[in-house]
A and B are shown apart, each in its own frame.
Chain A
Amino acid sequence: MKIDQSLPLEYSTQQNQLNILGFWVFIGAEIMLFGTLFAAYFVLVDRTGNGPTGADIFEITPVLFETFILLTSSFTIGLGIHAMRKGYTKAMITFYVLTLLLGVVFIGFEVYEFIHYVHVGAGLQTSAFTATLLTTLGTHGAHVTFGVFWGMFIVYQLIQRGLTPETANKSFIFSLYWHFLDVVWIFIFSFIYLKGMV
């Protein structure tokens, strides 16, 4: 394994560079996946049948909380990568744990939101609108849930092995994933919630 000391640890071997580039390709595929979900949602948003409309069921307060929580978690994991590049393992792990905790709080809000929707009669089978809404939100929520577990294993490895080219690479790739989920949420926030409430 040839280690290039002039580069940050996560880029220091050729394998690491390829892993990061490969993950960008995966993110490209994820962009297309969410593109199709948004396409379905925009087509079916007015097909509410006998069920409620977006303006009937959306609540601004939990949505704003979710948005600020996810933005903050995206910031803390960015700080984690910054600490990693400076070699501060402890600070990095702290930022990662903070990120994952914010992720758990986000999921908590989303679960509350889903219970609320079902409670007011907007279940998966109510109308084409609620079906695409819950599928789109659920796909994002499932990604966040998966990310929390993934991040837990990364933190575990960081504690076990410390910062090596491999753990740094895994941590960096996880940060790309987490930022990407924040980007998707920005579009959900703008074009599902805000557009649906005006």
Chain B
Amino acid sequence: MSDLFPLKQVMGFALSIILTIIAACVYFFDMSMPITMTILLVTAFIQAGLQLVVFMHASETKDKPAIYTNIYYALIIALVTIFGTLLCMIWGYL
């Protein structure tokens, strides 16, 4: 039975549950906006990284550099799109 539940994945699952609970704390406790955003950003990106490494096996083959280059590229495009849009549609007019 323990053959079916490898420690690495069980730990990964436990950690993602804990991170979700920490993130949910911003709803249940009163916090200032900067602290809320910091908690959400940190927990979300750790969880995303966790999925990538533990569950998606991104680092296991010789394709690792190609996979990471591709993911970082996509991430940069997505973040530039999001923050660039915010910059020219919202923050520029504050």
How distant is the Cα of A180 from the Cα of B79 in the complex, in angstroms?
17
* A82 with B27: CB separation less than 8 A: no
Identify the closest chain A residue to B49 (Cβ).
A183
The reply on A106 being an interface residue by CB < 8 A is no
The reply on A83 being an interface residue by CB < 8 A is yes
Q: Contact residue range for chain A?
A: 35 or more
Please give, as numbers and ranges, the residues of chain A lying within 8 Å of B20 by CB-CB distance: 67-68, 71, 186, 189
Identify the closest chain A residue to B23 (Cβ).
A190
What is the distance, in angstroms, from B70's C-beta to the closest C-beta of chain A? 5
* B86 with A35: CB separation less than 8 A: no
* A31 with B71: CB separation less than 8 A: yes
* A43 with B71: CB separation less than 8 A: no
Please give, as numbers and ranges, the residues of chain B lying within 8 Å of A36 by CB-CB distance: 78, 81
Choose from A81, A179, A186, A198 the contact partner of B36 (Cβ within 8 Å).
A198
Interface centre among B31, B79, B81 (most CB of A within 10 A): B81
Which residues in chain B, 33-88, are within 8 Å of chain A measured between CB atoms? 33, 36-37, 40-41, 43-44, 47-48, 51-52, 54-58, 61, 63, 66-67, 70-71, 73-75, 77-79, 81-82, 84-86
**Given A36-B81, A42-B82, is A198 in contact with B27 using a C-beta cutoff of 8 Å?**
yes
What is the distance, in angstroms, from A32's C-beta to the closest C-beta of chain B? 5
* A35 with B40: CB separation less than 8 A: no
Binds B, one of A19-27, A113-121, A134-142, A152-160: A19-27
Binding site for B on A (CB under 8 A): 7, 11, 17, 20-21, 24-25, 27-29, 31-32, 34-36, 38-40, 42-43, 60, 64, 67-68, 71-72, 74-75, 77-79, 81-83, 86, 88, 91, 175-176, 179-180, 182-183, 186-187, 189-191, 194-195, 197-198
The 6 A-B pairs of least Cβ separation, nearest first, read A35-B78, A28-B74, A31-B74, A39-B85, A75-B13, A78-B55
